Chains A and B, each alone.
Chain A
Amino acid sequence: MRSTVISGLAELSAMKSSGDVTALGLYCQVAREAAADAGLERGEIDGLLIHTPFDGFSLYWPTVLADTLNLKLGFFDVVELGGASAAGMVWRAAAAIEAGLCNHVLCLTADVFTGLGGVRDLMPGQRQEYEMPYGASPPNGYYAMVARRHMHQYGTRPEQLAKIAVDQRTNAMATPGALFGSKPLTIDDVLNSPMVCDPLHLFEVVSPCSGGAGVVVSRRSAAKSAHAPISILGAGEAGSHLNIARRPDITHSWAQDSAAKAFAMAGLKAADMDVAQLYDCYTIAVLILLEDLGFCAKGQGGAFVAGHDLTWSGDFPCNTSGGQLSYGQPGGAGGMIPVVETVRQLMGRAGERQVLNASKGVAHGNGGVMADEVTLVLAN
């Protein structure tokens, strides 16, 4: 993938409501902003990858979007890996460019939150037949079970998980557009917030919202952005199952495999990263990804979090835009937050929260309940 780069980005503010604007409308806005950021005219865009929004889920979404934007495409598709879709788009776009199919691929996500009922109806049948009758409301109940098992096996403590939410809130306060960027959190705030799914508290759970984000993947020789292009040094993808009951050990995830592939491709290791943007639907997801990507040993995530400052100015900058926990989770677009923020940091465009001398970063997407995993290693 050395002949491809990420040449532009766009991210809409997180919104509790998008008013009359549909997911298609948000997609169009993200597309225009991302193309402009990459310095591209409409006619130069010849690739499109999207995640079908929960709102307005239907067939032929890439075609509908191309039609709406009057794009002439040589490569277009849907990437459906839940929260790993966005990261999955990036290497697919790079592979398509290297295969000679196209030169500039819009990788886009956008969604409008209209309630959880629509999402539930899109779940696979096995969830509705074998999981819902047990009250295992996906995914809250499953992540709570993972957290409890991690606490049992490794002695992880609630205050360690809470610190992840606290540090990410600090990051959100330096991020324009964050849904929860106005008020700091303390560990006591998190632990005293209502219990949603024991042992996970309200502030350890993402808040659904509306929004959108995307990046442009370009052939290196054709990139026109005014910003320094970002190299895709490595990518890895792994997964095999949906139901948490099938995992041999629910405190390990396929992220171990996706990260191993990505770092090997890049010729780097976790310790070489200057920033880490990790999918964070729940605090326990961040903790497990820290372990599985190799930032610390399995079971040491709690101690790692307690011993490091995860804020943008700290010794381990992580989820520097606040992550989904504090920026908000705009449906399928939540998975684009780690990608966009890594690119923004490596381009030196993070403003107040810019991590000094950031040259290498990892962006990780996670779909389902630690099921679909995609790791990207990026550099400037």
Chain B
Amino acid sequence: MQRCQGCSHWHWPAVSRCSECGAWDPPWQDVPIEGAVFSWATTWHPFGGTEAIGVPYTTVLVALPHADNRRLLGLWEGEEGELSMGAAVVGSVGATMVGKTEVPSLRWRLAR
């Protein structure tokens, strides 16, 4: 995650300049990929651009306590029935084909 060297603001999506204080190129910091479920949605109908994922799939919005609860999207790797608001989850970096391009993407599952 990017954290501004000038004002400590966490950024996501990535930025080239801090929207809070204007500092250039906020540096990246390692943050544990763990957090709490804030919301989720399960897509049953295929929409353009996400064909490679295959329906149904669940997208989760996770708040990261180690980054001021900044929220990150990700794909859910478990059963939807396992999900609940506030559930502790851990993530890993996978990849998704978007069109003909492979893009790194977060995958979340329940913390054990």
Contacts and interface: CB of A to CB of B under 8 A. Distances in A.
Q: Which of A132, A142, A152 has the most CB of B within 10 A?
A: A132
Interface string B89-104: 0000001101000011
Nearest to A202: B45
B40 A120 contact: no
A155 B111 CA distance: 26
B57 to A, nearest CB: 5
B72 interface: yes
Contacts of A128: 49, 98
B75 A134 contact: yes
A196 interface: yes
B59 A135 contact: yes
Contact of B48 (A129, A134, A137, A195): A137
B23 interface: no
Contacts of B45: 140, 194, 196-197
A131 interface: yes
A189 interface: no
A269 to B, nearest CB: 31
Contact of B13 (A129, A135, A141, A197): A129
Contacts of B53: 135
A134 B42 contact: no
Contacts of A21: none
Q: Which of B42, B45, B47, B49 has the most CB of A within 10 A?
A: B49
Interface string A330-362: 000000000000000000000000000000000
B41 A144 contact: yes
A246 B105 CA distance: 18
A198 interface: yes
Interface string B49-91: 1100100010101000000001111110000100001000000
Contacts of A243: 13
B105 to A, nearest CB: 4
A126 B59 CA distance: 17
A134 B13 contact: no
Contact of B59 (A120, A136, A195, A246): A136
Interface in A188-209: 194-199
Nearest to A137: B47
B41 A198 contact: yes
Interface string A241-253: 0011110001000
A144 to B, nearest CB: 3
Given A198-B41, A250-B39, A135 B75 contact: yes
A19 interface: no
B40 A245 contact: no
B12 A134 contact: no
A50 interface: no
A250 B14 CA distance: 20
A145 B41 contact: yes
Nearest to A200: B41
21 contacts: A130-B73, A132-B49, A132-B50, A133-B95, A133-B104, A135-B75, A136-B41, A137-B43, A137-B48, A140-B41, A141-B41, A141-B43, A141-B59, A142-B41, A148-B39, A152-B85, A194-B44, A195-B42, A196-B44, A197-B44, A197-B45
Interface of B: 12-14, 38-45, 47-50, 53, 57, 59, 61, 70-75, 80, 85, 95-96, 98, 103-106
Given A134-B106, A136-B73, A144-B42, 4 more contacts: A134-B59, A140-B45, A145-B59, A245-B61
Interface of A: 115-117, 120, 126, 128-137, 140-142, 144-146, 148-149, 152, 194-199, 243-246, 250
